[in-house]
Amino acid sequence: MATAIKNIPVLKKEAASTFNEKIEKNIANRASVDFSKKVSISNKILAKAKS
């Protein structure tokens, strides 16, 4: 049997505040990485899979 996949524990105390700070920054940088081309390629991969 392969190694069990770990559950994600609830983030508390320092881990919670660090995480909250990081995701607040990410909200400020929302949509800063243009992923349109990659989504377009991904659509083509999915279309090829259906054909």
Partner 1 sequence: MGFLLEKCTFKPYNQEILDSCEPFDCGNSDLNGFFSKDVIKYTSELLGKSYCFTLDENPKVIVCAFTISNDSIKVQTLPNSRKKKVTKRIPREKETRSYPSVLIGRLGVNKNFGRLGVGSDLMDFIKSWFVHPGNKTGCRFIVVDSYNTPKPLLYYTNNGFEPLFSTEEQEKEAMNLPLDKPLKTRLLYFDLILLKIEEQEE
The residues of the shown chain that bind partner 1, judged by CB under 8 A, are 1-3, 5-6, 8-12, 14-20, 22-23, 26-27, 29-36, 38-39, 41-46, 48-49
CB 45, min distance to partner 1, A: 5
CB 28, min distance to partner 1, A: 10
CB 33, min distance to partner 1, A: 5
Tell me how far the alpha carbon of residue 37 is from its chain's centroid.
Answer: 17
Q: Contact, 19 vs 11, CB < 8 A?
A: yes
What is the rounded CA–CA span in Å between residue 51 and residue 48?
Answer: 5
